[in-house]
Structure 1
Amino acid sequence: MNQVFNPTGTEIQQPETLPHSIEAEQQLLGAILTNNDVYDRIASIIKPQHFHDPVHQRIYEVAAARIARNNLASPVTLKTFLEDDEGLKALGGPAYLARLAGVAVSSFAVREYAQMIYDLAIRRELIGLGRDISDRAAKVDVESDPKSQIVEAEQKLYALSEQGKAESGFQSFLKAVTDAVKVADAAYQRDGGLAGLSTGLDDMDKKLGGLHRSDLLILAGRPSMGKTSLATNIAFNVAKSYRRGKLHDGTDGAVNGGVVGFYSLEMSAEQLAARVLSEAAEVPSEQIRKGDMTEAEFRRFVEAAKALESCPLYIDDTPALPISQLAARARRLKRTHGLDLLIIDYLQLVRPATARDSRVNEVSEITQGLKAIAKELDVPVIALSQLSRQVESREDKRPQLSDLRESGSIEQDADVVMFVFREEYYVEREKPSDDRLDEIAAWQERMDRLHGKAEVIIGKQRHGPIGSVDLSFDGQFTRFGNLAKAYQQDQRGY
């Protein structure tokens, strides 16, 4: 309620009016009904829910639907669809549509009117969110602590800033189809035909079609298989190829590569940076850690650090982050610097928001939370995961879906499940004794065949086939790369 004072000094209570402009709404609708071509100039700015008057919402919705189908939207054609509308009857019935068209002064200012209506709608949403935050904070409840209220408020404010409304709700199939066509068109126009973000690893890109927005990808493996190395390589490849420009929808964004957020819950930021620099400078990470470098290697190391200092790779090494805090920090990163790929190393080190009765339920909450982050921020999320020890007890050490720890929830929520497998690691530990010459020769031949090779097994993929991808692996620099095929080796003279 607003408080005002009359000349006699008596306080009078008046109902608070939310910000709006009926006149701007009338002018905009009148311009559209007079000239349907102006709709294309304001369609990207304003939606039906941005109108304050419910009748104006319905008029705009019907007009937009007709124009989208290349049909005329005029007072006469709209009358058929709205003559039974009770709200319109209260304003004078179909004659109100004619009056709207009659009072439209000019179409040159429609974008200004649309922007004004949009801004006022956002203000109303902000007022509503502010009241909700205030009401919840005033209500002292054991179930709702202040920290969770802050996270929830930040989530709603982020959704409002990104989409122009607190909740998107249902969308028509027409919009969903249009978005799908835009994605396919972007893939067709892009070199290599990728629908998603390139990992920098050609064979993996072909198998996955790139990293798709809103997907949750699980990258799993036993210790020493190279999970973190592969994730670091992908993060580095995406960040170093980042280029900003105009997207197909006219907005600014990453036209190549992207901004990467990396949650390193196991290693420190310095250790992770050393791995990236090891790959870029081609100096073994072990030597970097010890400081055992030649002058030439150290010079390469420093030059690589200078070249990569502007690389959009952001690392958070806070240990044992709750899933709610992880989401809040990712939102903040996207709002301040942008975000195109999120990586979590690793899933089992993330804490649930609340303590659960079993570890399976905790992991289920975490995987559902990660999938929700991927959808909310519209970015691919790669989460690393440990595998159970039962892999070691089998003769065939290749991992499979049932080897995932707490596999039910991880397998169910993930869009893609990949396993890193290096057979060389296991064969190396099967070396026979030196006196068994025949066995040594066979073992050495097998080691030569497997040396420097790795395999990424795709055990689940919603959008495409399962199978395996062969990669090269250089343990010196903890680097995965594209594996040259036999015909490529002949061409390159290897």
Structure 2
Amino acid sequence: MPTEALLIRDTEEIRALPSNVEAEAAFLGAVLIDNRIIEEIGGKLKPEHFFAAVHGRVYERIVTLLDRKAVVTPVTLKPYFEVDEGLKELGGTAYLARLTADGQGLLNPRDLAEQVYDLALLRELITVGRNLVAGAMDTSESVAPLEQVQQAEAALYAVAEGAQSGSEAQGFAVATRTALGMIEQALLSGGHISGTTTGLTSINEKIGGLHDSDLIILAGRPGMGKTSLATNIAFNAADRMRRDIVDGIDPKDSVGAATAFFSLEMSADQLATRILAEQSGISSEMLRMGKISREDFQQLSFASQRLAELPLYIDDTPALSIAALRARARRLKRRHDVGLIVVDYLQLLQGSGRANDNRVNEISEISRGLKTLAKELSVPVIALSQLSRAVEQREDKRPMLSDLRESGSIEQDADMVWFVYREDYYVAAKEPKVPQGADDPKIHDAHAAWQAEMERVYGLAELIVAKQRHGSTGKVRMKFEPRITRFSDLADDERAGNSYDD
């Protein structure tokens, strides 16, 4: 039988690897007889999942031709394999015709595809196990067992996701198809979003949504509302996913996302209170103090029922290390397929023990770890960051990239850097004091001028896009309601000609 030649390997070790070359051949034969089988099994099976390299090349060529809307048969495949050395060992291009000889694969092509896939995962698991044993046995250099545990978990996650451990270079055709898919999503969304929505039209229009594998740094001085904005975006993305699922939209086609929120500063109930305040329109201060009416409580109850269905997962474990956060994020990705990760905030994460002696090195390690996480899980990661006090020393309090605290690597690793700036925060701090009973007109004039300035800027906020790999930088103007800690788009008349400033 021709496929038996594929089982001849150089060592007993390779022969012992889990495989079923006959199943691979039967599956390929079924696909060549009926091309529609590829659509039925979905896109999980990849060329690298085939044990026989020649079978992987045949499958890859079949998928490529089907993408071009061509009909694939042994005849149409023949020109691509006339000089294939691996196929020559099996009798040349005549082997392609023999794959379709009995057609037994047509009886259960899905089961055959599942078996090919499962055996590939077992081979990957064996590779991970061998590398783990080899690494644990090697004590020639510094022993770092915790680091090896993290590496093993990352490798196991890759296997669980059906990816090869040790990712190989992908063909440009694959990258092009991915790019076209993003462009198509932007087109279908009305020309605004090619990633996950922020829920704020003005921001979406500026950045095109949150893109997979991107690290977004959201920074600001205390009191600017960076946690509020991050919470708003996390809620908006999760709520859009919930609504799309209710409307019968395939989760893959949704611009929303299940969201993981790592809150190292606030507890889960504090974050929940913020979101409840935002959605019910009741001040979070009033909620904490219980100063609400029965009508307010009923409104709160309705809001909480709606929020209970949100695909929003909050982890408020304090003092997480970057390695522990990545491990938890992988589990959330595997269990809930999260499509957005928010970290509040970067400076509260801890690096490895070796980096703790130098804070700049530790922050560099953390920012690199967050960028690696974004690429590994293929999701956008929003990490909040503090700014240095240098902002307060300037007349213009708008932040700049040089204000990012403790490490220039944050700016380097980030795909986007956003700054939150609220002028009313600084104007409020400049309120002139009016002594009781004072009748000096200059004092009253100064206070009136301050009041006029406060009315002009009150409730306005700026998102300064200081860095963006995908597009231009600039400012997005928004509305901020401090009572319920909610950012929203400005009204059309306020936005006209004034929504962003490049």
Residues 398-477 of structure 1 mapped to structure 2, 5 A cutoff: 398-434=398-434, 436-477=443-484
Could you tell me which amino acid in structure 1 is paired with residue 416 of structure 2? V
Once the two structures are overlaid, the 10-residue window that deviates more, 44-53 or 376-385, is 44-53
Any unmatched runs of 5+ in structure 1? 1-12, 490-494
Q: What residue in structure 2 maps to residue 266 of structure 1?
A: 265
Distance 1:64 1:238 in 2: 33
Aligned mates of 1:333, 1:263 — CA distance in 2? 11
Deviation at 1:139, TM superposition (A): 5.0
Q: What is residue 366 of structure 2 aligned with on the other side?
A: 366
Alignment of 1:18-167 (within 5 A): 18-33=17-32, 41=40, 44-66=43-65, 68-69=67-68, 81-105=80-104, 107=106, 109-139=108-138, 143-167=142-166
Match in the other structure for 2:485: 478
**Distance in structure 2 (CA, Å) of the matches to 1:303 and 1:76:** 63
Percent identity between the two aligned chains? 49
> Which residue matches 2:438?
none
RMSD across aligned positions (CA): 3.0
Instruction: Give 1:220 shift.
Output: 0.6
What residue number does 1:229 align with?
Answer: 228
Contact in 2 for aligned 1:399/1:419 (Cα 8 Å) = yes
Report how many residues are paired.
475
What is the aligned partner in structure 2 of residue 3 from structure 1? Answer: none
Corresponding position of 1:396: 396
1:381 positional shift: 0.8
In structure 2, what is the Cα distance between the partners aligned to 1:44 and 1:198? Answer: 25
Instruction: Report the Cα distance in structure 2 between the residues aligned to 1:478 and 1:77, rounded to whole angstroms.
Output: 62
Q: Residues 111 and 396 of structure 1: is their aligned pair in 2 closer, same or farther, counting only changes over 3 Å?
A: same
Inter-partner Cα distance in structure 2 for 1:418 and 1:447 = 25
Look up the equivalent residue of 1:447 and give its one-letter code: M
Q: Kindly indicate whether the alpha-carbon contact (under 8 Å) linking 1:45 and 1:115 is maintained by their aligned counterparts in 2.
A: no
Q: State which drifts further: 151-160 or 304-313.
A: 304-313
Please give the alpha-carbon distance, in whole angstroms, between the structure 1 residues aligned to 2:33 and 2:283. 70
Unmatched 5+ residue regions in structure 2? 1-11, 435-441, 497-502
2: CA distance, partners of 1:231 / 1:331 = 21
The residue type equivalent to 2:486 in the other structure is: R
Native 8 Å contact 2:193 2:255 kept in 1: no
Match of 2:306 in 1: 307
The letter for the 2-side match of 1:53 is: A
Task: Tell me the CA shift for residue 432 of structure 1.
Answer: 2.5
20 and 303 in structure 1: CA distance in 2 versus 1, 3 angstrom threshold: same
Q: Within 1, Cα distance between the matches of 2:99 and 2:481?
A: 70
Taking structure 1 as the reference length, what is the TM-score of the superposition?
0.86
Distance 1:198 1:84, change over 3 A: closer
Aligned mates of 1:61, 1:259 — CA distance in 2: 32
Residue 500 of structure 2 corresponds to none
Which digits, 9 at most, give the CA deviation of each residue in 1:35-61, with x for residues without a partner?
A: 666555557242221111233333434
Deviation at 1:232, TM superposition (A): 1.2
Aligned to 1:5: none
Residue number in structure 2 paired with 1:289 = 288
Instruction: Work out the CA distance in 2 between the residues paired with 1:301 and 1:245.
Output: 23
Relative to structure 2, which stretch is displaced further, 158-167 or 199-208? Answer: 158-167
How far apart are the structure 2 equivalents of 1:144 and 1:242? 44
1:327 aligns with 2:326: yes
Equivalence for 1:6: none
Q: Using the alignment, how far apart are the partners of 1:162 and 1:84 within structure 2? A: 34
Q: Distance in 1 between matches of 2:41 and 2:283?
A: 56
Distance 1:358 1:112, change over 3 A: same
Cα deviation, residue 345, structure 1: 0.7
Say which SS state the counterpart of residue 243 (structure 1) adopts. helix
SS of residue in 2 equivalent to 1:310: coil
- TM-score when scaled to structure 2? 0.85
Cα distance, 1:304 vs. partner? 2.8
Tell me how far apart the structure 2 counterparts of residues 322 and 354 of structure 1 sit (CA, whole Å). Answer: 10
Matches of 1:462 and 1:159 in 2, distance apart?
Answer: 27
Counterpart residue type for residue 156 of structure 1 = A
Shift of 1:27: 2.0
SS of equivalent to 1:57: helix
The structure-2 alpha-carbon separation of the partners of 1:314 and 1:106, relative to structure 1 and needing over 3 Å to count, comes to closer
Distance across 2 between alignment mates of 1:153 and 1:239: 31
Residues 243, 255 of structure 1: 8 Å contact kept: no
> Is the contact between residue 428 and residue 454 of structure 2 (CA under 8 Å) also seen in structure 1?
yes
Which letter maps to 1:460?
K
Larger deviation, residues 107-116 vs 346-355: 107-116
- Return the alpha-carbon distance in structure 1 between the equivalents of residues 456 and 483 of structure 2: 18
Post-superposition CA distance 1:4-47 (Å, at most 9, x none): xxxxxxxxx99972222121222233345556665555572422
> Per the alignment, in what secondary structure is the counterpart of residue 454 of structure 1?
strand
Instruction: Name the SS for the 1:458 alignment partner.
Output: strand
Question: Is the Cα contact below 8 Å between 2:241 and 2:251 reproduced in 1?
Answer: no
Deviations 1:276-304 (A, max 9, x none): 12212222222233334344434433443
Residue 252 to residue 298, structure 1, CA distance change in 2 (3 Å):
closer
Q: Partners in 1 of 2:127 and 2:272 — Cα distance?
A: 43
Q: Give the match's secondary structure for 1:241.
A: helix
